[in-house]
Amino acid sequence: MMTFLRFMMSFLISISPVVPSALAPESTSFTCDGSLVETTIYNNENGAYSRVKAYEELDAGAFIVIKLVNSKLMLPRTFNVGETSFTDGKWWWSYEDHQHPTFRGLTPLGEVQEFNCEAL
């Protein structure tokens, strides 16, 4: 499972935008199937990166940066009613349960892979 996660995420590092380190705040840490995962949510509606400190502060340009073992993902906010979630159509992160967020990805065969995550 860990090898699959690393393999699927490794190619994404070259296409993921990097947030300047001066703007990167402390992250929220999770373990997803035994791997350390750090997340940070930013607002960016007007082009100014600002860290989101409360889920109620999300603006229309919000996105999440998910740092994995060997790569990063940047997923835009969804506007699903009743949940805080982010997706790019291939990867999906949701905070329906803030202690156990949902993290899913599509495999090359189009199957949904779900990773069990828990807050640290």
Per residue in 70-89, pLDDT (tens digit) is: 899 999 999 888 788 999 99
CB 16 within 8 A of CB 91: no
pLDDT in tens, 5-42: 454 444 333 333 433 333 333 458 999 999 999 999 99
* 75 burial level (CB within 10 Å; 0-12, 13-18, 19+): buried
Percent of the chain with pLDDT over 70: 78
Mean pLDDT of the chain: 78
Indicate the pTM of the whole model. Answer: 0.72
Max CA pair span of the chain: 39
The domain spans of the chain are 29-119
Q: What is the mean pLDDT of residues 79-105?
A: 89
CB 26 within 8 A of CB 38: no
